Structure formats: structure tokens, C-alpha cells
């Protein structure tokens, strides 16, 4: 395609965004030339946040249960090449009910596969990208993942599995696994068969998945660069201009400190009396039926969660110079920053809805890294813009 001035332009990669949430997959991939032409989520509040950042969502975003989506609805999309799916993790998470793919929420994987199956081979996306928690790999002794890979293989895809912790990009520990499915005709020349060597994107438990399934399911892998070294503290994500009124009063801070275990209090005091200002995040935990606060050992955030109650929200603690400690809940802007969505506009929904949306989303930098080093080399092998 020739653009203005005779400059060669790469044709956009048309994508469908299943379980789109607030749109962070789009935020990640759009700068790489991906154009979302269809999106779906069941939550109206998430759609409102998505539309506030991408007004064209009014034309292509379907707010509905995926069980009501049929493949025919996507057949009119021009050259659909990519489908992404961040299907619910609640039944797969170690913190969830572990019902796996028979669960009401995580079982929506089968609906995603059904929609792909209803699309003819001529319009089925060339590549699919799925994201979920590490618990997917161990659910029902690993059988859920094997069944999912087999279903995608039946649809014609060759599969690869990756594991990436967001801490390589942002100051948040957020380990996630990804499945990349590629139609065989689109596998690049440098795609390998067999079991990949252990690396930071394919730790031993991932290579074991390849070894277990390679004789039953078409699988491949691509060589990928090492992950970057991520930030080691929260300095780049804190909303320093947050209202002073958000900081808790002395009585509430005292209750926070009093709830700490002996070991936690030693850590707290060491940071409070140090000659440097530091920030830590904290979660409420229930230990032997007692609600307690726990201060994170390192200086990055724990994994953000959907806000279903106080125990799922993350607090920010300011300590140092022997001063009185300060504690408050993290803000929606800080959640956005921790998800790599630093430019995301917080103009829709309540603060709690915003926290929920980010806690249920993908980290922008992680998906963009996959897009640059995996999706583009497959879908646009001659495009050097992502290098």
C-alpha cells in the first residue's frame, strides 16, 4: 500500500477482541498496526471505559454474553487476521474455586472456541492469542489445558505456550501464561518443532507442556529475545499529586500497624526508621480466622485483583526518616500505571469500577512485547517497524 508522499505503508492487521474488558489489548497492539474491528464483553461498565478511550467502539463493540455471539456475526469483517481472548480466570486461579473449564466463568473458553468453529476456514483468524493465569496449567491435573490445546488444534492451529511475569516491564508481580495459535500456512520459516529449551519465557513447567502434548497436538515454538529487567520500585507509578484527604487518619493507621504480625512489624519499623523514603504495598489477609495486613517484602506491587471487597484492594504505605507512617488505598491512576496504561483516560465509571477494570485486564507492555516479537513476525514478516 502506498501512502502520502509515496511512502510504503503496511496494511493494518484486523483483529477481534474477545473478553475485551476496558481495552488494554487494543492499547497494547494498536501502535503496532493492529486495528480492532470487533470487540465483545458482557460488562456495561467496562464498555463505557473502553468507549471513553476509543469512541469508535460504538460501531464495533458488542456488549453481550459471548454465548449469544455466533460466528456469522464476524463473517463480514474484512480479512480478520487476529483474535485475542482474555477469558475469565476465576475458575482457574489458585485463589479461585478451581472448577476449571467446567466452571461458569472460565468455561467461557469453550464459547470462544465455538465462535471460531462457526467461522468458515476462509475467514477464521490466522492467529489467536489467549491469556490467563498460571493456574490454567495445573487445573484438574493439567487436563484442562490439554483439552483446550486439543480443541484449538482441531480448529487448525499449531500451538505455542509462553509464561511472562509483568514485573519485567512494570513494578507489579503479575505472572500470566499465553497461548499463541498459528494456522500452519502462516508459520514462519524459523518456527521449530520439538521441545524448546528452558528460558525466561518458557520455564521448565512450560517446556513440560510442550513435551507432554507434542505427539498428540500440533505444536511449535519461535525463538524469542530475553525479557527486559523491570523496575525495582514504585517511584514511576505513584500519583504524587493525589489528594491529601486520601491518606488514612491516625486511628486507622494505628489499626493497620497493630494488625501486623511480629515479623511484619520488624520489617515495617526498619523501613520507617531508615534514612530514605520508601513505598511498599500491602494486602489484607486472613490468618487463622483473623484479618491481618501484610507488607510486601520487595518494593514492587503485588498482583492487582478485581475489587470484590477490602481484602482484594491494595494499599500504599509510605515509610522513612523516622516520620509517622502514611497509608492509603492505591488510586485508579496508580492501578492504570501498574498495568502499563499510563495514558489511559479515567473519565468513565466510579473509582471502584475503574479499579475493577484494571484488576481484570492485561498489562499493556507484556502484550505489546508479544505483539512486537511474535505476532508481527508471523502476520507481517516483512514489516520492520516493530523492530
Residue 163 β-bridge partners? 177
What is the pLDDT, as a whole number, of residue 90?
A: 64
Q: Which residues are paired to 178 by β-bridges?
A: 131, 162
pLDDT over threshold 70, residue 88: no
pLDDT at 386: 45
The pLDDT value recorded for residue 218 is 94
CA angle 38, 83, 175 (to 5 degrees): 120
Name which of 173, 225, 232 is nearest 202 in CA terms: 225
More confident residue, 147 or 98: 147
Angle at 83 between CA 378 and CA 54, to 5 degrees: 110
Confidence band for 91, pLDDT divided at 50, 70 and 90: low
CA 259 – CA 294 distance, rounded (Å): 9
Q: Which residues pair with 380 in a beta bridge?
A: none
Stretch 91-120: mean pLDDT: 74
pTM: 0.92
- Domains identified in the chain and CATH numbers: 4-228+362-379 (3.40.50.150), 244-330 (no CATH)
Residue 153 has pLDDT above 70, yes or no: yes
User: Max CA-CA distance within the chain?
Assistant: 69
- Minimum mean pLDDT range among 33-42, 116-125, 152-161, 312-321: 116-125
Whether the CB-CB separation of 70 and 122 falls below 8 Å is answered with no
As given in the structure block, the three cell numbers for residue 47 are: 464498555
Amino acid at each position: 500500500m502506498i501512502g502520502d508522499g509515496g511512502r510504503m505503508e503496511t496494511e493494518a492487521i484486523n483483529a477481534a477482541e474477545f473478553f475485551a474488558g476496558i481495552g488494554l489489548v487494543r492499547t497494547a497492539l494498536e501502535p503496532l498496526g493492529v486495528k480492532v474491528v470487533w470487540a465483545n464483553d458482557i460488562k456495561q461498565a467496562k464498555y463505557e471505559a473502553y468507549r471513553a478511550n476509543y469512541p469508535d467502539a460504538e460501531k464495533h463493540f458488542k456488549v453481550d454474553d459471548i454465548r449469544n455471539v455466533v460466528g456469522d456475526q464476524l463473517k463480514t469483517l474484512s480479512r480478520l487476521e487476529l483474535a485475542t481472548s482474555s477469558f475469565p480466570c476465576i475458575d482457574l486461579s489458585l485463589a479461585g474455586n478451581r472448577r476449571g473449564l467446567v466452571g461458569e466463568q472460565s468455561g467461557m473458553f469453550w464459547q470462544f472456541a465455538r465462535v471460531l468453529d462457526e467461522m468458515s476456514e476462509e475467514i477464521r483468524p490466522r492467529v489467536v492469542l489467549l491469556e490467563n493465569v498460571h493456574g490454567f496449567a495445573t487445573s484438574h491435573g493439567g487436563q484442562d489445558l490439554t483439552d483446550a490445546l486439543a480443541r484449538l488444534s482441531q480448529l487448525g492451529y499449531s500451538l505455542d505456550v509462553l509464561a511472562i511475569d509483568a514485573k519485567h516491564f512494570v513494578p507489579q508481580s503479575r505472572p500470566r501464561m499465553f497461548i499463541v495459535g498459528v494456522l500452519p500456512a502462516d508459520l514462519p520459516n524459523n518456527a521449530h518443532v520439538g521441545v524448546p529449551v528452558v528460558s525466561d519465557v518458557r520455564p521448565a513447567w512450560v517446556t513440560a507442556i510442550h513435551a507432554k502434548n507434542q505427539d498428540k497436538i500440533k505444536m511449535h515454538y519461535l525463538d524469542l529475545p530475553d525479557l527486559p529487567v523491570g523496575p525495582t520500585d514504585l517511584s514511576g507509578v505513584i500519583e504524587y499529586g493525589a489528594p491529601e484527604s486520601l491518606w488514612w487518619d491516625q486511628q486507622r493507621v494505628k489499626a493497620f500497624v497493630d494488625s501486623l504480625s511480629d515479623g511484619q512489624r520488624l520489617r515495617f519499623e526498619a523501613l520507617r526508621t531508615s534514612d530514605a523514603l520508601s513505598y511498599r504495598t500491602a494486602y489484607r489477609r486472613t490468618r487463622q480466622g483473623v484479618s491481618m495486613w501484610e507488607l510486601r517484602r520487595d518494593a514492587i506491587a503485588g498482583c492487582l485483583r478485581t475489587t470484590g471487597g477490602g481484602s482484594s484492594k491494595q494499599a500504599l504505605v509510605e515509610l522513612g526518616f523516622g516520620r509517622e507512617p502514611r497509608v492509603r488505598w492505591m488510586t485508579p491512576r496508580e492501578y492504570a500505571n501498574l498495568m502499563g496504561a499510563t495514558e489511559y483516560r479515567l473519565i468513565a465509571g466510579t473509582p471502584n469500577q475503574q479499579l475493577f477494570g484494571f484488576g481484570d485486564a492485561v498489562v499493556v507492555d507484556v502484550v505489546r512485547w508479544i505483539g512486537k516479537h511474535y505476532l508481527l513476525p508471523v502476520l507481517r514478516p516483512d514489516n520492520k517497524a516493530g523492530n
